[in-house]
Structure 1
Amino acid sequence: MKRIETIQKIVESGVVAVIRAESKEQGMKIIEAVKKGGIKALEITMTVPGAVDIIKELSEVYKNEDVIIGAGTVLDPETARACILAGAKYIVSPSLNIETVKLCNRYRIPVMPGIMTVKEAIEALDYGAEIVKVFPGNAFGPSIISAFKGPLPQGNFMPTGGVSLENVKDWIKAGAIAVGTGGDLTKGAKTGDYELVTETARKFVEEVKKARA
């Protein structure tokens, strides 16, 4: 049931915040700012120094809050297992690694593998991925979602890469079940403007709601 609940929360939120940072300290500040803006699904990428430790710490800090901590840029099953043991509630990959998908299924943890073709999307569905990550989204644009939905109406697609405040509506209207966003969401962190990160997060949530309405 927890797996289903996690997926439902991601879909309800509509936005997964992709957290990339140059240090643990910056990462924690970004996370708090994004959470304050109303985004509940936080994806801590393995490119952040000490990412697994951050996941473990956040999972403990927010265990009684309506926030779901996941791991991103997970390239292999070994890393996926380490993240799951640290408390990650979902796993996101930039590509389709079948062994990673199988491991996550074994432990009933939602996994969102990255795909670029219909063939990869079908393979991901075959192995039980409830949400398929379209990456990099900016290589295609929102029309790729409706194109995938043609032969695969049963697929749940989440674009990441190139999703901005300007085009998030287009992605949702094209059929995306949710979006992943990083650079456009957290750009304020580069200058230490975490209030901008919070405001941007709030706007993303609002734009998704408007698009769905």
Structure 2
Amino acid sequence: MKKVVAVIRGNTTEEAEMIAHGSVDGGISILEITYTVPNASTLIQKLSDTYGKKAVVGAGTVLDEITARLAILAGAAFIVSPSFNKEVAILCNRYRVPYLPGCYTAAEMIEALEYGSDVIKVFPGNTVSPSFISGMKGPLPQVQLMPSGGVNAENAKEWLDKGAAAISIGSSLYQSTREKVAEEAGRVIKNIKV
């Protein structure tokens, strides 16, 4: 499913890898490996090699241009940040890697657009409702928004129905086994298609 991003976190590289595999098993084909995961660059490279064209692997929680460059060298197909960073935007534009910064206000979104961001992460998404998307698209109809935080199987479809370009799902995927992760990912995909 091209409109769902699995945000992969974990206390260990192995835990994060298990969540990534379970997410793909469940039908999510876009993986955001956060730089809160130990050895995130190594995991990005490993998953990119493992999945090839079956999944798109990017980097999340990128706070500076040095980390963005490391992620790109590891094979990250996109870069996600919790906030907008001008230097990261410039670096990503230089290497033609999509940059999805976290923004919350119209002013932040306009600045991100001016620096070439095609998709903007609404963060923290759990502090707004899905109607935030349609509300923001009133004055900024060109903005492509992806809520992150608070998105789950129960409300995923509503976010998309309100105009989200994509949704970012994290904590609901953090299960104890690969099979349970796959089951939750599958539930998200099923509820979107309903």
Tell me, yes or no, whether TM beats 0.5: yes
Cα deviations by residue, 1:111-139 (Å, 9 ceiling, x for unpaired): 10000100001111111101010000011
The reply to whether residue 203 of structure 1 matches residue 187 of structure 2 is: yes
| Cα displacement (A) at 1:185 | 2.1
- Map of 2:84 onto structure 1: 96
- Map of 2:24 onto structure 1: 35
| Cα displacement (A) at 1:164 | 1.2
CA distance in 1, matches of 2:129, 2:173: 18
The reply to whether residue 52 of structure 1 matches residue 41 of structure 2 is: yes
Q: Is the 8 A contact 1:19 1:45 kept in 2?
A: yes
- Map of 1:120 onto structure 2: 108
Q: Is the 8 A contact 1:94 1:135 kept in 2?
A: yes
- Map of 1:9 onto structure 2: none
- Map of 2:134 onto structure 1: 146
Q: Which stretches in structure 2 are left out of the alignment for 5+ residues?
A: none
Cα deviations by residue, 1:77-135 (Å, 9 ceiling, x for unpaired): 11000000000000000000011011101000011000010000111111110101000
Q: Which stretches in structure 1 are left out of the alignment for 5+ residues?
A: 1-11
CA distance in 2, matches of 1:178, 1:207: 14
Give me the identity figure in percent: 50
| Cα displacement (A) at 1:166 | 1.3
CA distance in 2, matches of 1:120, 1:67: 30
Which amino acid counterpart does residue 87 of structure 2 have in structure 1?
E
Cα deviations by residue, 1:27-78 (Å, 9 ceiling, x for unpaired): 1111111110110000000000111111111222222x32100000000111
Instruction: Determine helix, strand or coil for the equivalent of 1:169.
Output: helix
Structure 1 stretches of 4+ moved >3 Å: none
Alignment root-mean-square deviation, CA: 1.1
* TM-score (norm: length of structure 1): 0.88
